[in-house]
Amino acid sequence: MAQILIVDDEVGIRELLSEILADEGHQVLLAESAGAARGLRERQRPDLVLLDIWMPDTDGITLLKEWAATGQLTMPVVMMSGHGTIETAVEATRIGALDFLEKPIALQRLLATVKRALRNQEAAKPREISLATLGRSATLAEAKKRLGQVAQTAAPLMLRGERGMRAELFARLLAAPGAPFIAGGPLLTEPTSELLTRAAGGILFIPDLARLERNEQRSLDFLLSRADKHKARVVSFSSVDARTLAEKQDFDAELVARLAQVTLKLPALRDFAEDVPDLAALMLAQLIEARACPPRRLSVAALNALRHHPWPGNLAELESVITDLAHTVLDEEIELPDVERVLTTRTDAPDAPQLGLDLPYREAREAFERLYFEHLLGREQGSMSRVAERSGLERTHLYRKLKALGLSIGRREESGS
Residues 6+ apart with CB under 8 A from 157: 150, 174, 233, 234, 235, 236, 261, 262, 263, 264
Range list of H helices, 105-213: 107-119, 138-150, 167-171, 192-199
Confidence of residue 42 (pLDDT cuts 50, 70, 90): confident
What's the confidence (pLDDT) of residue 268? 95
Determine the length of the chain: 417
Q: What is the mean pLDDT of residues 277-304?
A: 89
What's the confidence (pLDDT) of residue 214? 85
Q: Cα–chain-centroid distance for residue 74?
A: 15
Confidence of residue 413 (pLDDT cuts 50, 70, 90): very low
Dihedrals phi, psi of 40, to nearest 5 degrees: -65, -40
Dihedrals phi, psi of 80, to nearest 5 degrees: -130, 140
The answer to whether the beta carbons of residues 98 and 78 sit under 8 Å apart is: yes
The string of pLDDT tens digits covering residues 349-401 is 445 455 666 677 777 788 888 888 888 887 776 778 788 888 888 888 888 88
The string of pLDDT tens digits covering residues 334-343 is 999 999 999 9
The string of pLDDT tens digits covering residues 6-36 is 999 999 999 999 999 999 999 999 999 999 9
| CATH numbers and ranges of domains, the chain | 3-124 (3.40.50.2300), 138-267 (3.40.50.300), 270-345 (1.10.8.60), 351-417 (1.10.10.60)
Q: What is the mean pLDDT of residues 267-289?
A: 92
* Sheet bearing 99-102, strands edge to edge: 27-31, 3-7, 48-52, 77-81, 99-102
Query: What is the reported pTM?
Result: 0.60
Highest averaged pLDDT of the listed ranges 64-68, 232-236, 346-350, 362-366? 232-236
